[in-house]
Amino acid sequence: MLKHILYFTLPFITYSAFASGIAQFSGVDGGEEYTLKLEYLDRNTSRIDANKKGDVNSYLLFKEKQAQVIAEYQGNTLVIDLANISAMAQNLGVMSVLGIDSDTLQIDIISMQATGKKEKIADIEGEVYKLSWSRNNIRQQDELVLSKNNQAWEYTEALASAVDTINSSSTSINVKADLLLGRISKEKLGVLRLGNRFRLVSVLNKPDDPARFNTPDTSFTIPDLGGLLENL
């Protein structure tokens, strides 16, 4: 699932010049295909639109180390602050696509070996690695493609910062990724692909409209959230 790649990137946040951009991804989550659009002004200001069949019309907004879910509900715009109601917000469709759920998630990186192969994804060349890891003590293997391309590193940083913000309000996630952390931090690598779970489709460095990252103005009063979430 996408959660694996997002949480692999979770600790990989370093500091240097950073350009804004837009990155598009696709993959398979639970046997279903999804698409994801990441817009970022800097590493701590981003917007994630995730689309999977059956999900509500919603997106995640990250800025100043805070996260919000913006969703359309019965013709109204609903703004949910994850820091206040993270447990309920995790049931929203966009959170499901991102793989952030209430289940306990334990990820351990076991080994990472270079294959000597190269792969070009979205016109960016990367090195292919054989990654052994476990999810809740179930061992798995995937090909991981990493690149020294600066654009790839920047969107990886933006994803990492977003997930770090989500993780700060969760007690059900435990990721041990020191093996990857050291390499990505030292060499400024970006993730191009993880098996068929996550794959870069396109990336473009360009100034985006700052208004895209503003919290929508809304006078909508949140109703009984329990009933609301049952219908999402």
Which residues are within 8 A (CB) of 41 and not within 5 positions of it... i.e. 6 or more apart?
Answer: 20, 208, 210, 213
Tokens of 190: 């970006």
Strand partners, 135: 107, 138
Nearest 5°: phi and psi at 7?
-80, -20
| Alpha carbons 137 and 130: distance in angstroms, whole number | 18
| Alpha carbons 186 and 183: distance in angstroms, whole number | 5
According to the model, what pLDDT value does residue 75 have?
77
**Strand order across the beta sheet in which 124-135 lies:** 76-81, 66-73, 58-63, 45-51, 32-42, 21-29, 198-205, 190-194, 138-147, 124-135, 105-121, 173-176
| Alpha carbons 155 and 172: distance in angstroms, whole number | 25
pLDDT > 80? residue 56: no
pLDDT digit string (tens) for 111-168?
889 999 999 999 999 999 999 988 778 888 999 999 999 999 989 888 878 877 776 7
The answer to whether 127 and 114 have CB atoms below 8 angstroms apart is yes
**pLDDT category of residue 65 using cuts at 50, 70 and 90:** confident
> Residue holding tokens 């090195």?
127
Q: How many other CB atoms are there within 10 angstroms of residue 57's CB atom?
A: 12
pLDDT > 50? residue 2: no
Question: Regarding beta strands 66-73 and 76-81, do their DSSP bridges make them parallel or antiparallel, or are they unpaired?
Answer: antiparallel
Which residues are within 8 A (CB) of 177 and not within 5 positions of it... i.e. 6 or more apart?
Answer: 7, 8, 10, 11, 12, 107, 109
What architecture does CATH give domain 2-222? Clam (2.50)
**pLDDT category of residue 21 using cuts at 50, 70 and 90:** very high
